[in-house]
Amino acid sequence: MTEKSGSTRDGFAHGTGGTDGTGDGYDVVVVGGGAAGLSAALVLGRARLRTLVVDAGEPRNAPSSHMQGYLSRDGMSPAAFLAAGREEVAGYGVELLAGRVTDVARNGTATGTGAGDTGFAVLLDGGRTVRARRLVVATGLKDELPAVPGVTERFGRDVLHCPFCHGWEVRDQPFGVLASSAMSVHQALMVSRWSKDVTFFLHTVAEEELSDQDLRRLAAADVGVVPGEVAGLVVEDDRLTGVRLADGSVHARSVLYVGPRPLPRTGLLERLGAELSETPFGAYPVVDPTGLTSVPGVWAAGNAVGFAEQVVHAASGGYRAAAAIVGDLLMTDLDAATAG
């Protein structure tokens, strides 16, 4: 890895000094150093493109001690996974910078050899501006948790949101599911695959708001339905033991599933004028199968394009975006070389 000025910690360059003799122009700047961003950077580095990864260090799965369902990496901690990824991409000359992209704009002057290939100006939080011919936006999203005391503190431990991520590890324990979104009934039904002792806490949802089909399915799955607002969690010896309702009653539970409200980090894409599509889980960029947005030269990958992207999907999306960029830059340069 080519170091910037300042120290290197956790595989990142810190500081805002200049680069080596090639200046601050890059073929690709990747915004975000999670699974999607690092996967894209790996492919770009191996394709011999000058690449910079700017990472704010806010991975969505940071609260989790392990990740699951990624073939050959099942059970690996998210921190170890990212550390291995940073080491791999650095081996191909990719530059890694701990920091935040605060703004991005189309650059009015050519950054590459292609005719009309204007590229982008990328402003970093230390005041430095770098130039890029192409961008990969892999900024992910933030989970906004239900405002129930204890939920945030135990999220990723015994307060969970995804049975595919954690269901096996807590199988056959007494589950609770907190009604907190339009998908909560679906969540209560899904987790019954991993436990036959499931209680659905309606919380602020009135029982009459459940459809007849919801009630039939919940009954068929043997999911108990408990009305009443949830006031907090009962924790003993640093483990969840129950769910307390506002009326003071306590229901013994070892695991509580919740439905976070996803907050997509689309600020940079919006500044560039990318088309967004509203979904029940937030507004996400409209992309083609490679992740290309409506803005020429800008790709998106990972949770930046959808709520349900798991780590394995994010890595795949980053790979597809990078492969498309490699071909795009090659053809742009070949066309420029043969023009006229």
The pTM for the full model equals 0.88
The answer to whether residue 50 scores a pLDDT higher than 50 is yes
Domains of the chain: 8-142+261-338 (3.50.50.60), 146-257 (3.50.50.60)
Q: What's the chain's average pLDDT?
A: 90
The answer to whether residue 70 scores a pLDDT higher than 50 is yes
The answer to whether residue 5 scores a pLDDT higher than 90 is no
What's the sign of the alpha-carbon dihedral 154, 74, 305, 105?
positive
Half-sphere exposure in the Cβ direction for 272 (13 Å, CA): 30
**Residues 6 or more apart whose Cβ sits within 8 Å of residue 142:** 58, 60, 262, 263, 265
Q: How far apart are CA 54 and CA 100, in angstroms?
A: 6
The answer to whether residue 7 scores a pLDDT higher than 70 is no
The answer to whether residue 61 scores a pLDDT higher than 70 is yes
pLDDT in tens, 212-229: 999 999 999 999 999 999
